[in-house]
Amino acid sequence: MQLHYKESGRGRAVILLHGLFGSSDNWHHVALRLAESFHVFVVDQRNHGQSPHSAEMNYPLMADDMNEFMASRGIDNAAVIGHSMGGKTAMQFALQFPNRVEKLVVADMAPRAYAPVHEKIIAAQLALDLNSFSTRQEIEDALAPEIPDLVLRRFLLKNLGRNSSGGFFWKINLRGISENYLQLGEPVSASAPFKKPTMFIRSGKSDYINPEDELRVRELFPQSEIQTIAGAGHWVHADAPDAFLRLALDFLRAA
């Protein structure tokens, strides 16, 4: 699978992976700052952004996607930073292909299983007949009863595109995500731990990384540290970009 990506900067390679319903655009500010010191690749994962759609979607497959991406770009190894679903992909990639990963940064995601919490959101989007709408505002209003959070609605609407005749379409593969959604909640799998430097950046306002997760984190990533940004929510790199960048840059620059 030939993943779509954006590239900037020069130096050691750093790869950024977005979360569910996201795209490479979510990392824009962080990528700009990192590109001052590193060669940054911001990737759209399968079924997201401008990358290909697929009926199959799980973390071992997405780790394979990353391996193919690096091979296609001639990248021997890289630091990998992933948020949420992208954090799971990054963990799985490091566990499957440890020689490819120099350092690992995981933003607000643990290696465990998660209960399904996005099914209502996916169903609300799938239920819309996009051909019946003439403006983005009409679509936003139609989603409001099922998705009352305005910030979330507008985040989801970043996935809307318009075709040459002016009609709307979803750039993400909602059907494929829906059919594979339960697999995206599964834990990462490992035959051996990843023994290179790893940092988990935990949000102080979410419960994605609990104290109970720390034992499994240490088992799978024995050279890991867990840092907390107290005032940030789950989208920690967007809520507190300066604090996130301070942690990430210090970690990436360390010998």
Q: Which amino acid is at 15?
A: I
Give φ, ψ of 5 to 5 degrees: -155, 165
Which pLDDT band holds residue 211 (cuts at 50, 70, 90)?
very high
Model pLDDT, residue 121: 96
Share of the chain above pLDDT 90, in %: 98
Report the catalytic residues: 84, 234
> Could you tell me if 217 and 111 are in contact, meaning their C-beta atoms sit under 8 angstroms apart?
yes
Give the pLDDT band (50/70/90) at residue 164.
confident
The DSSP call for residue 212 is: G
Cα 163 from Cα 208, distance rounded (Å): 37
pLDDT band of residue 162 (cuts 50, 70, 90) is very high
Mean predicted lDDT score pLDDT of the chain:
96
Whether the per-residue pLDDT at 251 is higher than 90: the answer is yes
Q: What is the mean pLDDT of residues 194-218?
A: 96
Place of tokens 């959604």: 181
Helix, strand, or coil here: 239? helix
**Could you report the per-residue pLDDT of 101-159, keeping only the tens digit for each?**
999 999 999 999 999 999 999 999 999 999 999 999 999 999 999 999 999 999 999 99
Sign of CA dihedral 49, 50, 54, 56: negative
d(CA 142, CA 252): 43
| 41 Cβ neighbours under 8 A, 6+ residues apart | 5, 6, 7, 13, 14, 15, 16, 69, 73, 75, 78
Q: Can you tell me the mean pLDDT for 13-22?
A: 98
Stretch among 69-73, 131-135, 162-166 having the lowest mean pLDDT? 162-166
What's the whole-number mean pLDDT along residues 77-104?
A: 98
Contact predicate 67/100, CB 8 Å: yes
* Dihedral sign computed on CA atoms, order 233, 81, 251, 198: positive
Q: What is the pLDDT of residue 253?
A: 96
Q: Are strands 39-43 and 160-162 parallel, antiparallel or unpaired?
A: unpaired
- Residue 255 in this model has a pLDDT that exceeds 90: no
Measured CA to CA in angstroms, residue 107 lies from 142, 181, 188, 240 at distances of 31, 20, 15, 12
In Å, what is the CA distance from 26 to each residue of 119, 169, 239?
22, 20, 12
* Residue 250 confidence (pLDDT) above 80: yes
Measured on CA atoms in the order 172, 178, 180, 181, is the torsion positive or negative?
A: positive
pLDDT score for 15? 98
Tell me the C-alpha distance between 49 and 170, whole Å.
10
pLDDT single digits (tens) 43-69: 999 999 999 999 999 999 999 999 999
Q: What is the percentage of the chain residues whose pLDDT exceeds 70?
A: 100
- Global pTM reads 0.96
Q: State the pLDDT at residue 129.
A: 95
